[in-house]
Amino acid sequence: MLIDLHTHTTPESEDSYLTPDELIVNAKNTGLDAICFTEHDRFWDDEDIAKLCKRHNFLIFPGVEITTEEAHLLVFGLKKYVFGMHCAAFVRRLVDEAGGVIIVAHPYHRGSREDLGGELYYAALTRACESPVFKLADAIEVFNGRGSENENAFSKEISERLNIPGIAASDAHEVKDIGRCATLFERRVTNLRELITELKEGRFRVANLDKA
């Protein structure tokens, strides 16, 4: 089952050019089985998600991309933003209480992109791996549809060095982003709780759809 775990829509995410309907229609057309709405620090209402699912006969799971001091976190299982979420450790406590999961999004963003393809690459990689945020993560986004080859290779190597499972997602903000990559789940997922369970159990792998 192909699921895009990281997408953005307007106006919930101010930097996105995609309406929810545009995202869903294009996701269906690219062969995805489901998508996740992960707006920046904003949560979708469950009823609105259900209406979109019914209208398009398509699976949509609610999540969020939380901006913390340490990294951007894709979170599943929380319902609202509360003060203190700028700290990754605080988010982890909330997620544990809710029985959710955390995925570190595009981990290369917090480093110097100029270092990722040059002689400072391994120094940047070592520095990144020492970040305490990865001890809080259930998975790492190792293939981001908007990331460069070097950036995604950097993320993948963090995942391998730290032995943390990797996911792939489009991070879609525009139509051209949709369908570039997704995460292939071994089992059928029909609701958010099942998605969280499969992520916790690690029954998934990266699917680079551009090369499929």
pLDDT at 34 over 60: yes
- pLDDT tier for residue 122 given thresholds of 50, 70 and 90: confident
Tell me the C-alpha distance between 20 and 56, whole Å: 11
pTM to 2 decimals? 0.94
Listed residue (105, 72, 68) closest to 84, CA to CA? 68
CA distance 70 to 104: 10
- Is the pLDDT higher at 63 or at 150? 63
CATH of the domain at 53: 3.20.20.140
Q: Which two tokens stand for residue 188?
A: 């059928």
For the stretch 75-101, pLDDT in tens is 999 999 999 999 999 999 999 999 999
Q: Determine the structural domain holding residue 65 and report its residue range.
A: 2-208
Task: For residue range 3-17, list pLDDT tens digits in order.
Answer: 999 999 999 999 999
Q: Is 17 helix (H, G, I), strand (E, B) or coil?
A: coil
Place of tokens 């997408």: 7
pLDDT at 115 over 60: no
Give me the chain's average pLDDT, please. 93
User: Tell me: the pLDDT tens digits for 49-79?
Assistant: 999 999 999 999 999 999 999 999 999 999 9
Q: How many domains does the chain have?
A: 1
Average of per-residue pLDDT across 148-156: 92
- The answer to whether 129 touches 158, Cβ cutoff 8 Å, is yes
- DSSP letters, 135-164, are GG-SEEEEEETTS-HHHHHHHHHHHHHHT-
Q: Where residue 106 falls among pLDDT bands split at 50, 70, 90?
A: very high
pLDDT(30) > 80:
yes
pLDDT value for 212: 41
